[in-house]
Amino acid sequence: MAAPAMPRRYGAVNWRGLWALCLKDLHRAYKSFRYSVLGPVVSNLLFLAIFAVARGSGAYVGDLTFLQFLVPGLVIFAVCETAYSTSSESLLFDKMEGMIADTLMAPLTPTELTIGYACSSAATGLLTGAAVALPMLLVVPLPIASLPLLLFFAAGGAFMHGLLGILVGLWAERWDHHSAALTFIVIPFGYLSGTFYSVASLPALAESVARVNPVFYVIDGFRAASTGHAESPPLVGMVVVALVVLGLGVCARRLFRIGYKLKP
Amino acid sequence: MPRYPTAVPAMPQVRRFGAINWVGLWTLYHKEVRRFVKVATQTLLAPLVTTLLYLAIFVLAIGDPAHKIGDVPFRAFLAPGLIMMAMVQNAFANTSSSIMIAKIQGNIVDTLMPPLSPGELTCGFALGGVTRGLAVGLVMWGALTLLLPAAVHNILFVLFHAVAASLMLSLLGIVGGIWAEKFDHLAAVTNFIITPFAFLSGTFYSIGGLPAFWYGVAHLNPFFYMIDGFRYGFTGHADGSLTAGLIVLTVVNLLLWALVYRMFARGYRLKA
């Protein structure tokens, strides 16, 4: 007589479930590769071309030309924007199609859900960033001043926006909400925090506002790790980014735990 | 006393209309306009925020208030380009998304079944897109005049190019919406065709600054003429020939109109 089926056992962490959750969104990004990866590549190359023609190649800040200043900003912002879209679109799509139940029914703790969504969106963001960076580096060669810092700030920006995407994805009820958060929050925060210009060129008040914005530290830290030109102390940037990621992670975990807009 | 009323109601008659079904045309146009007015946050406010962001970025990154193109200050040069870019993107989005969503949800039949001729369909959709383009343009112009010197040099050029550009992109949007089978196709058209053409046509720079080869290429791009002529209407500064622009825009619009008419007449990807 066959032994009755036993419930599957796992230790403190359901590694297999976590891995499956991560793979789900990576597969989704891979399936819409042309749209989700090539789209940012083309639009960022367009920005580069426009600024190359409109701004010319004179010196900008320190010993950097404008294009050398611009490329790290474009790359890190592509990482952030893609990470945000990946988790936010995934959750909202699953909610609207009713498939979110498949994720909620699986034996995954709120922590595992948070980490799973954050990791897959961060990974998609970093891969897109690499795809955006490669053709640009052929035109504008850039050094890497510090590889560990480069990876830290790239991952920090990716996780920050991946977690933000979870919050928006849980809160949003329609596609309008998702694109409103993108148009009115994510893009302005990124664009106005030094993606395209040195915040030192801003009027004093606007500069201090920009310096309160955590996205500024992501962009500045990433640029400093590549070019060596920093507008804020790297240590401050690291602490701010780490704290914001942690804070967003705690919020996301709490929303999954109480089932905010997920469970009745 | 007869058990049943003897007076039989008159048979419903087939509705008659002349050469043009004005009621149907107006209904289609009205539907197209109400579609975007209902989500004004997405269709009017969002483009405004995006345009103001571009303005901030370019003014801050290019800096230098003394920077001039010809004898036009950079900011005055930039404003018409930004307005035009927002107009064309929204005109395209209006018609393409309307047809695409109707196809995916299956309610396109509600547009194909009524007694609307291909010409009336073309006209209704295209004018809806033109209305969205002009509405967005008006909002942008209102906001930018608060921030920038935006005196109008020649109102006729402004109006002609605003209408011609919105019409051209509305028609392109119809073509895209009918051709596309998935949202991915439409996103690809927007990302790889419309945005590059709009961005690289002298919105943000004078094509006089381009290398000789690209300078020639820019003259083949109809988007260049609509931005250039529109900018002439505001600043009195043109990079290319205005007459050539008027001819190119008129011809392109006529060709696109004929193409769209033919697509509706044949039912390309619309009827089995």
Is there a contact between A42 and B196 if contact means CB atoms under 8 Å apart? yes
Taking only residues 163 to 192 of chain B, the set having a beta carbon closer than 8 angstroms to any beta carbon of chain A reads: 184, 187-188, 191-192
pLDDT of the residue at A61 = 78
Residue B9 clears pLDDT 80, i.e. is over it:
no
Does residue B226 sit within a domain?
yes
Flag whether A68 is in a domain. yes
Cα–Cα distances in angstroms (integers) from residue A234 to residues A237, B11, B48, in the given order? 5, 84, 35
Contact B192 A191 (CB under 8 A): no
Cβ within 8 Å, pair B41-A176: yes
Residue A9: what pLDDT?
78
- The model's pTM is 0.88
Contact A172, A70 (CB under 8 A): no
Q: Of the ranges B15-24, B75-84, B103-112, B208-217, which one carries the lowest mean pLDDT score?
A: B208-217
DSSP track, A128-144: HHHHHHHHHHHHS----
On whether residue B170 sits in a domain, the answer given is yes
Contacts of A38 in chain B (CB under 8 A): 191-192
- What are the tens digits of pLDDT across the range A189-217? 998 888 888 888 888 888 888 899 999 99
Four-residue CA torsion sign, B29, B35, B37, B42 = negative
Q: Establish if A264 belongs to a structural domain.
A: no
Which residues have CB under 8 Å from B189's CB, separation 6+? B96, B176, B180
Q: Which residues of B touch A34 (CB under 8 A)?
A: 184, 188
What residues in B contact A70, CB-CB < 8 Å?
61
Nearest CB to A46; choose among B62, B195, B210:
B195
At residue A50 the predicted structure's pLDDT band, cuts being 50, 70 and 90, is confident
Which range has the worst mean pLDDT, A19-33, A163-177, B27-41, B117-131? A19-33
Indicate whether A30 pLDDT > 90: no
Domain assignment of residue B168, yes or no = yes
Residue B2 has pLDDT above 80, yes or no: no
Question: Residue A95: is its pLDDT beyond 70?
Answer: yes
Query: A173 near A93, Cβ under 8 Å?
Result: no
**Candidates A32, A180, A192; nearest CB to B184:** A32
d(CA B185, CA B268): 16
Residue A251 lies in a domain: yes
> Residue B64: what pLDDT?
67
Q: Which two tokens stand for residue B189?
A: 């058209």
Spatial CA neighbour of B167 closest among B224, B116, B125: B125
pLDDT of residue A259: 92
The residue with greater pLDDT, A158 or B196, is A158
| Chain A residues interacting with chain B (CB cutoff of 8 angstroms) | 32, 34-35, 38-39, 42-43, 46, 49-51, 53-56, 66, 70, 176, 179-180, 183-184, 187-188, 191-192, 195-197, 201-202
Percent of chain B with pLDDT over 70: 95
> Cβ contacts of residue A111 below 8 Å, gap of 6+?
A253
State the total domains in chain B.
Answer: 1
Chain A touched by B46 (CB under 8 Å) = yes
pLDDT score at B65: 63
The answer to whether the beta carbons of residues A149 and A234 sit under 8 Å apart is: yes
- The pLDDT tens digits of the residues spanning B45-88 come to 999 999 999 988 888 887 666 677 777 888 888 889 999 999 99
Tell whether B40 is within 8 A of chain A (Cβ): no
Query: Are B61 and A42 in contact (CB < 8 Å)?
Result: no
Nearest Cβ partner for B57 among A35, A38, A191: A191
- How far apart are the C-alpha atoms of A150 and A144, rounded to whole Å? 8
pLDDT at A57 over 70: no
User: Is position A2 within any domain?
Assistant: no
Q: Around A220, how many Cα atoms within 13 Å sit in the side-chain half-sphere?
A: 26
- In sequence order, what DSSP letters do the residues of A198-242 get, joined into one string? -GGGS-HHHHHHHHH-HHHHHHHHHHHHHHS--SS-HHHHHHHHH
Q: Report residue B211 CA to chain centroid gap.
A: 30
Residue count of chain B = 272
Alpha-carbon distance of A87 to A64, in angstroms, equals 35
Position A248 in a domain = yes
CA distances from A53 to A17, A194, A244, B270 (A): 50, 20, 37, 43
**A202 within domain boundaries:** yes
What local confidence, expressed as pLDDT, does residue B146 receive? 86
Helix (H) / strand (E) containing B69: strand B68-69
Average pLDDT of the residues of chain A: 91
A222-264 per-position pLDDT tens digit: 999 999 989 999 999 999 999 999 999 999 999 999 999 998 7
Q: Is residue B8 domain-resident? A: no
What does the pLDDT read at residue B215? 85
The amino acid at A91: L
SS3 B68: strand
Ranges B42-46, B60-64, B117-121, B253-257: which has the least confidence: B60-64
**Which residues of chain B does A197 touch, with a Cβ-Cβ cutoff of 8 Å?**
57, 60-61, 63
The Cα of B265 is separated from the nearest Cα of chain A by a number of Å equal to: 31
pLDDT at B1 over 60: no
**B215, B207 contact by CB (below 8 A):** yes
Question: In terms of CA atoms, which chain A residue is nearest residue B57?
Answer: A196
Chain B residue numbers with beta carbons less than 8 Å from the beta carbon of A57 are: none
Average pLDDT over residues B142-155: 84
Q: Does B58 touch chain A (CB under 8 A)?
A: yes
Q: Which domain holds residue B234?
A: 39-266
List of chain A residues whose C-beta atoms are within 8 Å of the C-beta of residue B58: 54
> Which of A119-133, A205-219, B187-201 is the most confident on average?
A119-133
Does the pLDDT value for residue A24 go beyond 80?
yes
Statement: residue B155 has pLDDT above 60: yes
Provide the pLDDT for residue B166.
97
Q: How far, in Å, CA of A156 to CA of A150, rounded?
A: 10
Q: Under an 8 A CB cutoff, do A197 and B200 touch?
A: no
More confident residue, B56 or A84: A84
Average pLDDT over residues B2-21: 76
**Segment among B10-14, B82-86, B186-190 with least mean pLDDT:** B10-14
Q: Give residue A156's domain range.
A: 15-258
Q: What's the Rg (C-alpha) of chain A? A: 20
Q: Among A161-170, B176-185, B205-214, where is mean pLDDT lowest?
A: B205-214
Spatial distance between the Cα atoms of B34 and B27, rounded to a whole number of angstroms: 10
Residue of chain B whose alpha carbon sits nearest to that of A43: B191
Between A63 and A165, the higher pLDDT residue = A165
| Domain total in chain A | 1
pLDDT at residue A150 tops 60: yes
ipTM value: 0.84
The mean-pLDDT minimum among B8-22, B166-180, B183-197 falls in B8-22
Task: Measure the CA–CA gap between B35 and A225, rounded to whole angstroms.
Answer: 47
What is the identity of the amino acid at A92? L
